Amino acid sequence: MSHLIQDTLTMTRRNLAHVRQIPEKLLDVTIQPIMFVVLFAYVFGGVIAVPGSNYREYLIAGVIVQSLGFGIMGPATSVATDLGEGVIDRFRSLPMSRSAYLLGNLIAELLSMSLAILVLSLAGLIVGWRIHSSALEAAGGYALLLLFAFSMLWIGTYLGLMVRSPDAAQGVVFIVIFPLTFLATTFVPITGYTGVLRTIAAWNPISALSGAVRELFGNPTATPLDAPWPLTHSIATSVAWCALIIAIALPLALHKYSTKVRE
């Protein structure tokens, strides 16, 4: 166990060293989310109505959830790059724990996502967002965000082990995550949708998670009384979705990784 911990910390430092050498890697968790905050708060905020509240109070939870959803791209591209360049093969030849690579990569990416949450929270405070719940409920909101980030990292890791190149990983993430995060209540209340789009948005896991974070932060959820069960019980639904994703993606990633290192 002591060797595993030491090797994991070494792999974590390796990934963080890459960020220090190439700071542009943090653009997707710093500048890009802030652009979404400014864009929606000042450009679209005047035309998107949130019943009984301020749109900026509604917005921040959605932007954070969207940013964490796109966090899949970090582990997917880094793992795909290491596979393509033979780095993992090199690690396999060293006297180190085989699990340390995945764990170190996971910790480094989780720290990156934590930075995104911090940056977006500060940006939200600047544009007028506030937490109106108790300290315990607010802590629960951030804990739920970290749980979601953790589940997304395992999906990203599995994707990185499956694709043939980093470019392919980026393409898959964009095609899947972009519509998933926009066809939800991340930026527009459920009442803004009609017909089939409303049904899809109501049952979208991203909608439940956004609503759960808003509820825990004491922000407006704009959820009508006749909304489907996932929206009216968003906290329980979000925890269940995260647990299901981890239960599926984690063993798949570990199995695929063990297969790769044996090839």
Report residue 98 as tokens: 């085989």
Q: Range of 135's domain?
A: 2-262
42 Cα distance to chain centroid: 24
Find out whether 147 and 216 touch, Cβ atoms under 8 Å. Answer: no
Contacts 24+ apart (CB under 8 A), 33-41: 33/63, 33/64, 33/66, 33/67, 33/116, 33/119, 33/120, 33/123, 34/119, 34/120, 34/123, 36/63, 36/66, 36/67, 37/63, 37/120, 37/123, 37/124, 37/127, 38/127, 40/187, 41/127, 41/128
Burial (CB < 10 A; 0-12, 13-18, 19+), residue 17, is exposed
Report residue 64 as tokens: 């954070």
Which of 233, 248, 25 lies closest to 116 in space, CA to CA?
Answer: 25
Find out whether 234 and 221 touch, Cβ atoms under 8 Å. Answer: yes
pLDDT in tens, the chain (263 residues): 778 888 888 888 888 887 776 666 666 667 878 888 888 888 877 778 787 778 889 999 999 999 999 889 889 988 998 888 888 878 877 778 878 888 999 999 999 899 999 999 999 999 889 999 999 999 999 999 999 999 999 999 999 999 888 888 888 888 989 899 999 999 999 988 999 999 999 999 999 999 999 999 999 998 888 899 999 999 999 999 999 999 999 999 999 988 877 66
When divided into structural domains, the chain yields a total of 1
- Tokens 């963080």 found at: 16
User: What are 207-261's pLDDT values in tens digits?
Assistant: 999 999 999 999 999 888 889 999 999 999 999 999 999 999 999 999 998 887 7
| pTM of this prediction exceeds 0.85 | yes
Which of 172, 179, 211, 194 lies closest to 62 in space, CA to CA?
Answer: 211
